[in-house]
Amino acid sequence: MAIKKSDLYTSLWASCDELRGGMDASQYKDYVLFMLFIKYISDKYGNSDDFAPPVVIPKGASFKDMVALKGNSDIGNKINTQVIQPLIDENPRLARSDFPDFNDPNKLGEGSSKVERLSNLISIFQKPELDFSKNRAEHDDILGDAYEFLMRHFATESGKSKGQFYTPSEVSRIMAKAIGISPANTKASTTAYDPTCGSGSLLLKVAAAAGRRITLEGQEKDVTTAGLARMNTILHDFPTATILSGNTLSDPKFKDGEKLRTYDYVVANPPFSDKTWSTGLIPEKDKYQRFTWGVPPKKQGDYAYLLHIIRSMKSTGKAACILPHGVLFRGNAEAVIRQQLVLSGYLKAIIGLPPNLFYGTGIPACILVLDKENATARKGIFMIDASKGFMKDGPKNRLREQDIHRIVDTFTRQDESDPRYARMVPISEIADAKNGYNLNLPRYIDSTEPEDLQDIDGHLRGGIPVRDIDDPVRLKSYWSILPGVRDALFESAGRPGYCQLRVPIRDIKATIFDHPEFAAFQKTTDQLFDQWKTANQPRLDGFKKDGHPKQLIEAISEDLLATFKAAPLLDAYGLYQHLMDYWAETMQDDCYLIAFDGWKVGAQPREIVQVKNKENKLAWPEKHDFKRGKRRFKSDLIPAEILIARYFVPERDAIASLEAELAAIEQQLDEKREEQSGEEGLLNEVIEGEGDKQKIAPKDVKARLKEIGKDPDYADECAALQEYATLLDEKDSIKDRLKTAEEELETKLGAKYPKLTEDEIKALVVDDKWLARIADGVQSELDRVSQNLTGRIRQLAERYQIPLQKLSANVVALSERVEGHLRSMGVDEL
């Protein structure tokens, strides 16, 4: 059985719990990532019969040998000497500084506590779901994605000063697209370079976009982080990447003779505003001639890295660099360099990003896209202000899939259709005296929301301003598709420039929904979805064992976006986001199960085993689909509700009916208890507790009835008790029938799963699960359109509903009423 990605992530994150304690995330990440590394290379290369495997596993230095050390009093030292050191000796690309010290008492404790901690850590990686011989990082890079998951969490927990080793993968993907690398324009000799590579995630995104083996080279100043990068490249199945340690500015490692090596593609996320950039360097005497345009300020190293990147690009090279927004507008020495950059033609685009996106800082940053090819002919710089498209993700902001796609689409097509988002800015405008080569995006793109102006005349005399009804930002797009709806909603207010509602405010929504034009709009949307479904159902039905999930989601999501871009009023990117959210939440796991096990095996239920929770008590980790005695089972691919909805509707409805009966009886019991509580209540003698915690035990009802017998003095109480007891008996009867019905349905479910044919499974998964959920996403976008339109019209109608003259009259009338009441109370003067 294949592991779900979500389960893999959970298992890996559990390993962190073994180490957390008082250790900083920036420290314990090194231990967890090494365990992931040693487990992966042992599974993938431990039994390799290749003549020259990319990683050599010496005898006695595999993960199995670490397992043998569990419980050993000298476990930490033996891992260092018998596992790590032999690996380094046999693999020249690895260095001792790449790996943590497993015998460090300051981090791991001493004596039995260290032995237990390391033994538990090893045990976690022994779990069946972490068998990477079956779940290798091929095709869809399951392990590489898991590494990214860990790095994001480590960066989040490492804090402001220690999270810079990781570039958010969303930004890395944009950069890889922006430099234009793809399988169509790469070959074995293609080169890519990152001068400040951190843990290597940015460089690897470029390699992934290339779609083939290319030459990867990176340099990183921090030796531990460089080790992370080396492990990262191996885990991503790029063991030939060269990662070297050292200061890129003062001691660049990649040279051809005495000159800097140049590359086809360069990407970088340098440390923001590095105050020590010139340490060990005399810029004026730089032998690599990187500072001919000027020397950056001593306390602002951003342009130093940018100039190194430009010098490292081939004559047709492409590059993308993340820098703080300050590089776009700061003055003095940076202004001189910026002018030279603009005049060179190398700067192809600027992409402004949201604030609080990066782990080392909360300040907003931008991507500078460089291209030396045809630089002299470049007449403008394409600018994108993408600062408003993001989601909150814990303490940080995060780009959504729709934000990434919109940025990439806009950049690739040089799309200027929304001037509040992007435009091509001529060099002449940038060089104009009023701008003086200042590149600050707000100078050229006004992305602020237009002010919602109040109309004084409308407030004074009533009527909704036509200006608001035909507002080009908020409403005009609706009327181009629904002109009849506009006419059905509004009529002249009796004076030029103002309208009033034809219908009461409460009927706005119904007027829109019931209009034939809105029905036609909905029908068009349904037709587009049917068109997409017809085109993509064969892809979904045809997905099979050994299929590539990432290729599948790319194909169907791109087609969904392309299909709905033709839909008026709908946000195609929002619809795309619905699909990508569902992919991340459920569909991705489904596809990996199918790719590994096939449809039939993947659909079969697995037994759920109880685990210990945080209170160290046994608990069920997830909901079950059905039970057999005390055993519980769940199908990841076909949840019970989907199987029931197709095959067991009468049984489901019968259970729902019994549940409704039970709820009705319980309500009656609650009402009788509330009515007859208190000192004079007929049920007071059998009620326990107070307030919301009041209850009546059945045994107390029976005991009280027996106690009072047929005493006529207690006739009323006896009747109330008997009525309550009758309801209790009904409740017990319904509960018994409900339990029987549920057990019978569970028996039918358990028998049905093994009998499902592959075609039936596909119908359940593709039609009833995947396509039904995607259709819900389309409907939610339709709902958003109608809600936005209804909400805006209601807002305008309520805003101008009562003019000032009428308000004044109301105030006078209310004042007169108050005075009349006061006079009737004997108050003659106010």
Of 60, 2, 66, 75, nearest in space to 34 by CA: 66
pLDDT of residue 153: 72
Q: Say whether pLDDT at 121 is over 70.
A: yes
Q: Which residue has the higher pLDDT, 681 or 505?
A: 505
- Give the orientation angle of helix 516-542 with respect to helix 549-564, to 10 degrees: 160
Residues 6+ apart with CB under 8 A from 239: 54, 55, 93, 233
Structure tokens at 232: 């990262």
What gap in Å lies between CA 60 and CA 49, rounded to an integer?
Answer: 17
For the chain, how far is it from start to end, CA to CA, in angstroms? 85
SS (H, E, C) 490-556: EEECCCCCEEEECCCHHHHHHHHHCCHHHHHHHHHHHHHHHHHHHHHHHHHHHCCCCCCHHHHHHHH
What gap in Å lies between CA 807 and CA 775, rounded to an integer?
Answer: 47
CA–CA–CA angle 771, 774, 776 (5° rounding): 110
Give the amino acid at 779. Answer: Q
Percent of the chain whose pLDDT exceeds 70: 91
What gap in Å lies between CA 666 and CA 678, rounded to an integer?
Answer: 20
Confidence of residue 398 (pLDDT cuts 50, 70, 90): very high
Percent of the chain whose pLDDT exceeds 90: 63
pLDDT of residue 19: 63
Determine contact, residues 356/393, Cβ cutoff 8 Å.
no
Residues 6+ apart with CB under 8 A from 694: 673, 674, 677, 687, 688
Structure tokens at 401: 């899939």
CB atoms within 10 A of CB 683: 23
Structure tokens at 233: 């490249």
Of 357, 356, 417, 362, nearest in space to 384 by CA: 417
Strands 215-220, 191-194: parallel, antiparallel or unpaired by DSSP? parallel
pLDDT of residue 666: 93
Q: Which residue has the higher pLDDT, 445 or 22?
A: 445
- C-alpha pair distances (Å), 92 with each of 34, 54, 446: 17, 11, 54
Q: Say whether pLDDT at 161 is over 60.
A: no
What gap in Å lies between CA 366 and CA 244, rounded to an integer?
Answer: 27
Least reliable range by pLDDT among 380-394, 409-423, 790-804: 790-804
Q: Say whether pLDDT at 18 is over 80.
A: no
What gap in Å lies between CA 609 and CA 619, rounded to an integer?
Answer: 9
Q: What is the mean pLDDT of residues 175-203?
A: 94
Residue listed under structure tokens 């003779």? 257
Residues 6+ apart with CB under 8 A from 431: 342, 437
Determine contact, residues 618/610, Cβ cutoff 8 Å.
yes
pLDDT of residue 577: 97
Q: What is the pLDDT of residues 695-714, one digit of tens each?
A: 888 898 889 888 888 888 88
Q: Say whether pLDDT at 162 is over 50.
A: no
What gap in Å lies between CA 629 and CA 338, rounded to an integer?
Answer: 74
Determine contact, residues 206/265, Cβ cutoff 8 Å.
yes
Q: Say whether pLDDT at 655 is over 90.
A: yes
Confidence of residue 23 (pLDDT cuts 50, 70, 90): low
Q: Which residues pair with 627 in a beta bridge?
A: 632
Backbone φ, ψ for residue 547 (5° rounding): -70, 170
Q: What is the mean pLDDT of residues 368-382?
A: 96
Structure tokens at 436: 């003086």
Determine contact, residues 232/150, Cβ cutoff 8 Å.
no
What gap in Å lies between CA 46 and CA 131, rounded to an integer?
Answer: 13
Q: What is the mean pLDDT of residues 776-801?
A: 94
**Torsion sign (Cα): 343, 346, 347, 349:** positive
pLDDT of residue 241: 92
Least reliable range by pLDDT among 31-45, 161-175, 433-447, 560-574: 161-175
Determine contact, residues 445/422, Cβ cutoff 8 Å.
yes
pLDDT of residue 810: 65
Give the amino acid at 301. Answer: G
Least reliable range by pLDDT among 512-516, 523-527, 788-792, 804-808: 804-808
Cα dihedral value 173, 54, 197, 85, nearest 10: 140
Q: Say whether pLDDT at 480 is over 90.
A: yes
Q: What is the mean pLDDT of residues 617-625?
A: 85
Q: Say whether pLDDT at 140 is over 50.
A: no
Confidence of residue 542 (pLDDT cuts 50, 70, 90): very high
Residue listed under structure tokens 């365990």? 35
Structure tokens at 511: 């007027």
How much of the chain is in helix, strand and coil states, percent to nearest 5? 55, 10, 35
Q: Say whether pLDDT at 143 is over 70.
A: no
Arithmetic mean of pLDDT over the chain:
89
Residue listed under structure tokens 């050390």? 69
- Give the orientation angle of helix 572-582 with respect to helix 401-413, to 10 degrees: 130
